[in-house]
Amino acid sequence: MYLAQVQFTLWDKKYSFAIPKDGNYKINDKVIVDTEFGLELGEIVAFSEESEPEGLKSIIRKVTKEDRDRMWKSQDKKEAIRYCQDLARNSSLSIKVVDVFSSFSESKLNFAFAADGRIDFRQLVKDLTMHFNKSIRLTQIGARDEARINGDCGHCGKTLCCKGHIKEFSSVSSDMAEAQQVAHRGSDRISGACGRLLCCLAYEYKGFIEMAEKLPAIGSQINVGGKKGVVLNQHVLKQTVVVKLTGERGDDYTILEVNPFEQHKAPTPRRNNRRR
């Protein structure tokens, strides 16, 4: 059967809930669900086809206008974040409070914060509990989640992908930058607002690999106008290679860029390319 994947905050994981038989639900629907902490307001982000675990709770209903009126206002969130940040600063805790989530029953607050390394925030939880008179939870999030919450503009001038269409972060490695021949640009130009490698490096990675496989490998020999040359480099997007052709004397050579799929006339080695 199909289960709904519900997410309560951008930085929290997804939870599975059964779909009522008489319900008509779709992705992005705001719903009320019953959890071990009471009623929660979340958003359907995906559906999955799997067997229903025993005891799995079901979606109660879609969010109504009355439910929306009960939700925390933006100003309430800002004040709670500001208070938590001031309290942490007074306690000499090096953390940055980024977001706060209130349960639908208003009995619990979950603060999201960013920090370098592990933080002992037990006293901060006690102080927040006394002030808000609610169950308090603090969740440490990563740099990518922080960027998703705060939002910004990317190098392309558009809203950050993590703030828009990306629902799940994929692994982005330096190998992707190497495959797309942009690693030489420097870390600043291939890193996002979060300081991590750009998520968009993963978009065309597979395509670059497939295009590179069509070209002769670096170090291999190819025939250019009846002469054998060694491939020094690839230009994946242009589908060309840089080839070194050695002259008849052996101590002179020519370096040129060619399309390996076309026929070429044999070039004449030039004196100004002679190796000294």
Tens digit of each residue's pLDDT (9 = 90 or more) over 62-79:
998 888 887 777 788 899
Q: Which amino acid is at 240?
A: T
Domain 74-141 - what CATH class? alpha beta
DSSP 3-state assignment of 149?
helix
Number of other residues whose CB lies within 10 A of the CB of residue 46: 14
157 is written with which tokens?
């001038």
DSSP 22-45: T----TT-EEEEEETTEEEEEEEE
Residue 252 has pLDDT above 60, yes or no: yes
Q: What angle do CA 233, 236, 241 make, to 5 degrees?
A: 35
Contacts 24+ apart (CB under 8 A), 236-245: 236/180, 236/181, 236/208, 236/211, 236/212, 237/211, 239/211, 239/214, 239/215, 241/215, 241/216, 245/269
Each residue's pLDDT tens digit, 82-111: 999 999 999 899 999 999 998 888 888 999
Which residues 6+ apart lie within 8 Å of 35 measured at CB? 15, 57
Instruction: Give mean pLDDT, residues 133-152.
Output: 90
Least confident of 14-18, 22-26, 101-105, 127-131: 22-26
Q: What is the mean pLDDT of residues 251-274?
A: 69
Q: What is the dihedral of CA 29, 30, 31, 32, to 10 degrees?
A: 180
Q: How far apart are CA 226 and CA 267, in angstroms?
A: 10
pLDDT for residue 149:
87
Residues 6+ apart with CB under 8 A from 65: none
pTM for this structure? 0.72
Q: What angle do CA 166, 104, 136 make, to 5 degrees?
A: 90
- Tell me how crowded residue 55 is: count the other CB atoms within 10 A of its CB: 5
**CB neighbour class for 248 (10 Å; exposed up to 12, middle 13-18, buried from 19):** exposed
Parse the chain into domains and list their residue ranges.
2-70, 74-141, 144-207, 221-273
Distance CA 267, CA 260 (A): 15
Question: In this predicted structure, which of 49-63, 83-97, 219-233 has the lowest mean pLDDT?
Answer: 49-63
Give whole-number Cα distances, 58 to 45, 80, 189, 234, in Å: 16, 31, 46, 55
